Every structure is written in C-alpha cells, then in structure tokens.
Amino acid sequence: MNKRELLLVALGSGGKYSHTPVQVQKLLFLIDKNVGERIGGPVFDFAPYDYGPFDASVYEVLRELERDEFVSSSESTCGWKRHGLTDKGVAESERLAQVADPMVIDYIKRVSAFVRSLSFPDLVSAIYKAYPEMKANSVFRG
C-alpha cells in the first residue's frame, strides 16, 4: 500500500466515525509498527515529536485526499480538526480493503477503535508506555 491507500483504508476502518489529527498519526504509526511489513512498509517515516510519533507527510496526504474529494475535514466543538471519508472515499476505502490482507484489515479496524476510544492524554500516554523511544522530544507531561 502507498500512503494514500493506507490513509484511505485507515480512515475507512472507523466506519462513520472521523478521526482527530492525533488519532490519525497514532493509528498510522501503530499500523506501520505492527503490520507494516505485511503492506510493503513501513509506509510512513515517524519520528519522536511534541506528542509522540509524527510524520508531517500524513497531513500532506490528508490535504491531497481532501482536494481529490476522498476526505472531508471539519472543526469539532473542541477546536480539533476531524477527518472522515466522503462517499467517494468510503467507496475507494472499501475497494482497497477487499483486495488487502484480511488480517491487516482486521488489525486496522481494531486499532482504529482503540485510538478513538481514548482521550488525547490517555492515547499519548499509551503510545509512550508501549514505545518509550517516541517520547524523546515530547512536550507532553500527562
């Protein structure tokens, strides 16, 4: 999978739910870390940053997908952007998921639910606990 495909599948794994920026970053990080070799990856190049693993290209790809009408981004009530798929994005995500490794798709669905189930501080803390090297440049003290 390339970056666009992985991002579409990852966002599609959440069903009707959208993801905040931190959820997108951590979701893609966990996919790369845990099933990256099964999808020809790692696909992204995560490095320790203010709130753990970060790759600026995630946002570049999100902007491309939004421009191409696969992704819709909106402000949430708490000020965070939320990224979800448009109908066109859902169709493409489903098409990609049908030809992907079923184990990978199952993992992506589970980890998407996991990142969406935690608050911002709990998600960052969980990543730091599992991957302590990712807090090297952290400004987070939660």
Q: What is the CATH number of domain 3-135?
A: 1.10.10.10
In the predicted structure, residue 77 carries a pLDDT above the cut 80? no
User: Which pLDDT band holds residue 80 (cuts at 50, 70, 90)?
Assistant: confident
Which residues make Cβ contacts (< 8 Å) with residue 24, sequence separation at least 6?
Answer: 7, 10, 11, 58, 62, 83
Q: Domain segments of the chain: what residues? A: 3-135
Residue 35: name the closest of 74, 1, 85 by CA.
1
In the predicted structure, residue 10 carries a pLDDT above the cut 70? yes
Q: What distance in Å separates the CA atoms of residue 9 and residue 74, rounded to the nearest whole number? A: 19
- The answer to whether the beta carbons of residues 18 and 84 sit under 8 Å apart is yes
Please state the rounded mean pLDDT for residues 1-14. Answer: 95
The number of angstroms, rounded, from the C-alpha of 4 to the middle of its chain's C-alpha atoms is 11
pTM for the whole thing? 0.94
Greater confidence (75 vs 107) lies with: 107
Tokens of residue 83, six digits? 């990224």
In the predicted structure, residue 142 carries a pLDDT above the cut 70? no
